Every structure is written in C-alpha cells, then in structure tokens.
Structure 1
Amino acid sequence: MSTVLTAGRLSVRFRPRALVAAASCLLLAAAVSVLTLGSGDYPISPQQVLRTLAGGGTPAEDFVVNELRLPRVVTALLVGAALALAGALFQSLVRNPLGSPDVLGFTQGAATGALVVVVAGGSSLALAGGAVAGGLVTGAAVCALSWRGGLHGGRLIMVGIGTAAVLSGVNGYLLTRAQLMDAARAVLWLTGSLDGRGWDDALPLLAVTAVLVPVVLLGCSRALQGLELGDDAATALGVRVGRLRLLLLAAAVLLAALAAAAAGPVSFVALTAPQLARRLTRSPGPNLAVSLCTGAALMVTADFAAQRLVAGHQLPVGVVTGVLGGGYLLWLLAAERRAGRI
C-alpha cells in the first residue's frame, strides 16, 4: 500500500512500510556505529562518543574517534550501501535474485585488477586503482558478450558465471606469481577487510556515491519499476529500455568496483541485502532505498562482530558476511523447498 502527499502541484508517493524499514535500518546502523567508535583498547562511552563527534571531546578522544576509528566506520557504511544498491540494481535488471556482483564476475574482475598490481609491486593506492579498472573492464566485457539485440537477464547471468569461473582461475595463478609478503597482503584483501582503512579509502567512494545515489534513486527509480513489468510494457510507458539498462548497469558496476577497491571483494552483501529489504517491505519492487540502508546496517554490524567475536584477534569482515550470507541462502533454499517452488 502506498500513500500520496500532495502540496499544490507537487506530489510524493511513498510506502509507509518501506519508510519504516529504511528508518529502522538507519537507526540500527547509527547505533552500531556509535558502539564501534567507542569500543576497543581505548573504550569510550556512547555519550562521550556523541560528544566527541560534536566537537566536545578531549584531544585523546578526538584522535581515537575521529582519526583512528571513524574512517573505518564510514568506509563500512559506504561499502555496504554501495554493494547493496549495486545488487538491487542487478537483481532488478536481470529479474533474478542471483543477479549480484559476486555471481556475475564483477568482484572477481576487481580482484584480478588488484592482483595484477600486487604482482607488479604497486602501492596500496595503485591496488585500489587496479581494482576499479578490473571491475569496469570485466563489466564491459560481460555486457558485450551478453549483447544480442539487447541485454537478456538469463544470458547475462550465464556469461557472468562463466566469466567469474575463468577469473577465479586467473586470480589463483596471479597469487602464485606474487612475492610471499605481497601474496599474504593480497589474500587478506581478497577475503574482504576493513582493517587499517583511512580517509583515503573512504573519500573516493563517498564522492561517487554522493553523485550516483541521487541520480539512481531520484532519476531512475520510477523508470526501473516500469522496466520490471517487461521490456514491451516499459516501452509502452515511454521508458527508453536500452538506454536505461545500460545506464543502470554502468552505475552498478562502478559502485561494485569502488566498493571492492575500498574493502576488497566482500561477499554476499550485494546478494543478501536486496532480498532482506524485499522481505522487510513485503514489496516485489526494486526497493532501492531500503536495500541501500539495509546494506549499510549489515556491513557495519558485520564489521563490529568481526572485531569482537574472537578475543584478541580481528577477523576479516568478509569472513563474517560470508558466514551470514551463506547461512541466509541455506535458509532461503529450505524455505523455497518447503513452499514447493524448488
């Protein structure tokens, strides 16, 4: 059920349940972020964390919160939001819940670009650039190989799965060619990690998401709802199907590539967050805004758990998201089987 607010010539349509779901995810993300900023070897109370963020903390608290911990939290929120939005776009465009950067090979392509830099002995900044380049090149290649009078969802998934398999083999080979220390650094990055992330990692992703998110949510959301009705119905509604699909695919690939550059190829967030958003809203639509909020909450919660599950040792966040995402998929398959749909 949707509600329409009208003020003169301006009208806004929204679904109350979707609004509540998005607000709940944002509150959860904010609460976990405050807990993360205050926990560690130098514990700070939530009240003092909020006071420090407002500029009222001591010099020591300001350094710990704003310089050491805040960049990691911001990176987690941005990576989760970017991956979730990319996953929601892919799943809507291909009309398949398996449509995500993990399945379509884009994260593997980003990993290939990063590993090429590692083998060449490049810096961390060059590694991030290589990840972005690898993701974009892979996205362009998958779309080109899938094109036959347009992009068909099933064909895109099949080509993406094949591309992911090929790139996984290439990545394994590149790891064998790297120096021991470089290979260890690359394996940690391939798992998905937020350890040691600073403002240099968060700001590029922040700049791109600040541009792409409003464009996608405000400029393309309604047209994407028309596209989910089918190409013929969308065309009848005035949607330029081919142009819209290419634009949204480019945005999704760029978001996934930049997220991989910031935190490595974190698994299952792009696949799981849109499905969780769909169940929270009980709506079959793209649920872009709710997916974005769900992804941010999921990622920052997983990072908090990764820092606290094992005493004295921090797990890579990709391990936690992999366990949670894999468990969710098993539950989903069991539920689908009980319902007789598989």
Structure 2
Amino acid sequence: MTALHGVRIGPVGLRFRLRPLVVPLVALALTVFAVALSIRLGDFPMSVGDVLRVLAGAGDATEQYIVFDLRLPRTLTGLLIGAAFGVAGAITQAISRNPLASPDILGVTPGASAGAVGVIVLASGFGGVASVAGAIGLPVAALIGGLVSAALVYVLAWRRGVDGYRLVLVGIGVQAFMLNLTYWLLTIGDVSQAGQALVWITGSLDARSWADLVPVAVALAVFLPLALVGAHVLGALQFDDDTVRNLGARVELSRFALILIAVMLAAIATAAAGPVFFVALATPQIAQRLAGTARPPLVASAVIGALLVSVSDLVARTAFPIELPVGVVTAVLGAPYLMFLIIRKRREVRA
C-alpha cells in the first residue's frame, strides 16, 4: 500500500494513476524508434552507424543529401503534423463531448483542402484571379480555408451557445460542402493541376523540406503550451454549461479560444502535408483508452499522433512496390476505427 497526501492507495490504484504518465513515455520511445527506422530505410538503405555518423557531420555528400535533404525533413514533418492533428482532435472531442468530433468531421481539414486546391487550380489561369492566388500561396490558402470553414461551422451551430451534438451535425454539412467545392475546383483545372491537387488532398509527405517543417514547428511551439494551460477548462467543459459556469469558467469564451487553437493546429498541419485523414479522429480515443482518463489527454494524443503518422509514412514508403501517400495508409487504418466508434456510439444511445 502507498500513501499519497494522507490517502492509502493500493497497487491497482497506483497503476491507474501512473498510466497517464507511462503511456506518453512509451509512445515517445516507440516514436523515436520509428523515426530512426524511417531515416535508415529506403531505396538507399543505411546502417544505424552510418546515420549517426552523418548526423554528427561526417559522411560523404550523397549520404548527407539523403539524410538532411530527403529523409530527415520528411520524417520530422510527419512527426510534427501527427502531433498537431492529435492535439487538435483531443481538443475538439473534449469540447463537443463526442468521440466522433475531429477537424476532419467538423470541416476544418476539408476547408483547408478547398483553399489549397483553389490556389493550385487558379494560380495558373483565370486572368486576374491567378495573380491573387499565386500571391496567397498554398500554405496561407489552406490556413484561410480552414479558418473560414471553422467560422462557418461555429456560426451555424450557435444557438445561445454551442452544443456539442449540434456542432458535429453542422460540421458534417460543412464538410460535405467543402469536399464538393474541392471536387468542382478539380473539374475546372487541367489534367496536370488535377493530378497535383489529388496527390496533395490524399495527404502526402513526399518531397517535404525544411520549409514545410518550420510552420508546423512554430504552430506547435505556440499553441501546444496554450492548450496545456487551458487543459483544466477542458476538464470543466465535460459537464453541462450551467455546471461549468458554477465552477467559475467563462463557457463560450473558453470554448471559442480552445476551438481556435484546434483549428489553427489542424489547418497549419493540413497546409504542410495535406489532409492526413483519421489521425485527429482516432488518436485521441486511442490515447484516452490507453491512459484510462475521462477525456482525451493532450500530451498522450500528441505523442501517439506523431507515432501514428511516422509509422504510417514508413509503411507507405517501404512496404509496397510503389510509394503510397501517407494519407492512404492512415485512411486504411482509420476507416474501420470510425465504423467501430459509430457502432459503439449507437449502442450507447440505445442503452
């Protein structure tokens, strides 16, 4: 038996308390291992010693190019966008109190996709629109698209406050609109533009560079601490609005600020690699079940999201005769999980 603050806790209770700490540490160790494998493996395989030698500044020009220009920025970008999607999904699911809520379902990533595809299609034609689209650039357009989509969902879901169930329903409608807008944009572009856009909207880490890595790193450095500061509010938002107000929290302001953090993380991650679907949906639920917490834990969601994308990209790059976009692998993993959540939610409603 162990005493904590005057309360005696048995072995089972102690293990339950340690799970939220152990889970992210184990996931972090697995992520480091996946990153090491990702840097090693490829068309030009390298040993661990070779990789360490190149990272230390040695190695020939070819090895340095492969590690520093090809594999390392791609691997780190995947790691960071996985963390960003994981945190964004944890926030949206905690706020809506619904395991089906995520930036994918709420229309944020489809909105970002519509903005980015609009730039790809319009930047090379359509007169004056081309110059505007070209000046905006793909990452900024994706960010704007995600913000516009999120604002639309929030406004349409508002009715003397935002209810989590209504938020999901409106988000599904906005998601459908943004997806159809994306498909329409594809039809008005030429074949080369449509091919480029299709690869991007599938979610791909191919040819990621340090320039793609920096915005996601900055977004995580800014918004992850803010999300952790607001974690106590997320705990309060698990109750109904009247209870939250009695606890002293400003419900709508807190909800708006946290949703904004989730939208920014999801939109910037989408701008870096496209909409890598199902990461934001599945990761928080996996983290919650492994950690045994009442709501999706932010840190564990971030680390497991990084692990999921890193492993998915490694599989997409090395397990098949041709390289696949990472979004294909995450979709194959996430679609059955989505069906499981829907069936489970339906059974809970019936019960």
Same structural fold, with TM-score higher than 0.5 when normalized by the shorter chain: yes
1:15 Cα deviation (Å)?
3.9
Map of 1:141 onto structure 2: 152
User: What SS does structure 2 have at the residue aligned with 1:103?
Assistant: coil
What residue is the counterpart of 1:44 in the other structure? Answer: 46
Instruction: Assess, with a 3 A threshold, how the Cα gap between structure 1 residues 300 and 156 changes in structure 2: closer, same or farther.
Output: same
Would the alpha carbon gap of residues 63 and 341 (structure 1) be closer, same or farther in structure 2, given more than 3 Å must change? farther
- What amino acid sits opposite 1:282 in the alignment? G
SS of the residue corresponding to residue 188 of structure 1 reads helix
**Structure 2 residue aligned with 1:265:** 275
**What one-letter code is carried by the residue in structure 1 that aligns with 2:277?**
S
Matched residues in 1 for 2:47 and 2:338: separation? 36
Q: Structure 1's 48 and 175: CA in aligned 2 closer, same or farther, altered over 3 A?
A: same
Map 1:9-20 → 2, pairs under 5 A = 15-20=17-22
TM-score (ref. length: structure 2)? 0.88
CA RMSD of aligned residues (A): 2.3
3-state SS of the aligned residue for 1:279?
Answer: helix
Q: Give the SS at the match of 1:233.
A: helix
Would you say 1:230 and 2:232 are equivalent positions? no
| Alignment match, 2:231 | 221
Aligned residue for 1:105? 107
Report the AA paired with residue 17 of structure 1: R
Give 2:287's match in structure 1, choosing from 277, 290, 297. Answer: 277
Q: Cα gap change, 1:251/1:77 in structure 2, threshold over 3 Å: closer, same or farther?
A: same
How many residues are aligned here?
331
Q: Which amino acid aligns with 2:181?
A: V
2:313 corresponding residue in structure 1: 303
CA distance in structure 1 between the aligned counterparts of 2:243 and 2:349, rounded to whole angstroms: 30
Contact 2:106-2:170 at 8 Å conserved across structures: yes
Q: Give me the TM-score of the superposition, normalised by structure 1.
A: 0.90
Corresponding position of 2:300: 290
Say whether the 8 Å CA contact 1:52–1:65 is kept in structure 2. Answer: yes
Match of 2:139 in 1: 128
Q: Does 1:192 align with 2:203?
A: yes
Residue 161 (structure 2) pairs with residue 150 (structure 1): yes
- Following TM superposition, by how much is the alpha carbon of 1:328 offset from its aligned partner in structure 2, in angstroms? 2.4
Show the counterpart of 2:75: 73
Structure 1 338/136 Cα, relative in aligned 2: closer, same or farther at 3 Å? closer
Unmatched runs of 5 consecutive residues or more in structure 1: 6-13
Is structure 2 residue 323 aligned with structure 1 residue 321?
Answer: no
Determine if contact 1:273/1:294 at 8 Å carries over to the other structure: yes
CA separation of 1:57 and 1:100: change in aligned 2, threshold 3 A: same
Q: Is the 8 A contact 1:193 1:318 kept in 2?
A: yes
Residue 89 (structure 1) aligned with residue 98 (structure 2): no
Give aligned-pair identity as a percent.
44
Deviations 1:14-37 (A, max 9, x none): 941111110111111110111110
Separation (CA, whole Å) in 2 of partners of 1:201 and 1:339: 42
Partner of 1:167: 178
Task: Indicate conservation of the 8 Å contact 1:102/1:108, yes or no.
Answer: yes
What displacement does 1:302 show?
0.3
Aligned-residue offset at 1:125: 7.8
Contact 2:99 2:341 in 1 (8 A): no
- Structure 1 Cα separation of the partners of residues 57 and 187 of structure 2: 48
CA distance in 1, matches of 2:164, 2:249: 18
Q: What is residue 114 of structure 1 aligned with on the other side?
A: 116
Q: Kindly provide the CA deviation profile for residues 196-223 of structure 1, in whole angstroms up to 9, marking residues without a partner as x.
A: 0101111011111101111111x11112
Alpha-carbon displacement from aligned partner over 1:284-305 (angstroms, at most 9, x marks no partner): 2231111111100000000000
Consecutive unaligned residues in structure 2, runs of 5 or more: 6-15, 124-132
Which residue in 2 is equivalent to 1:27? Answer: 29
TM-fit CA distance, 1:337: 7.8
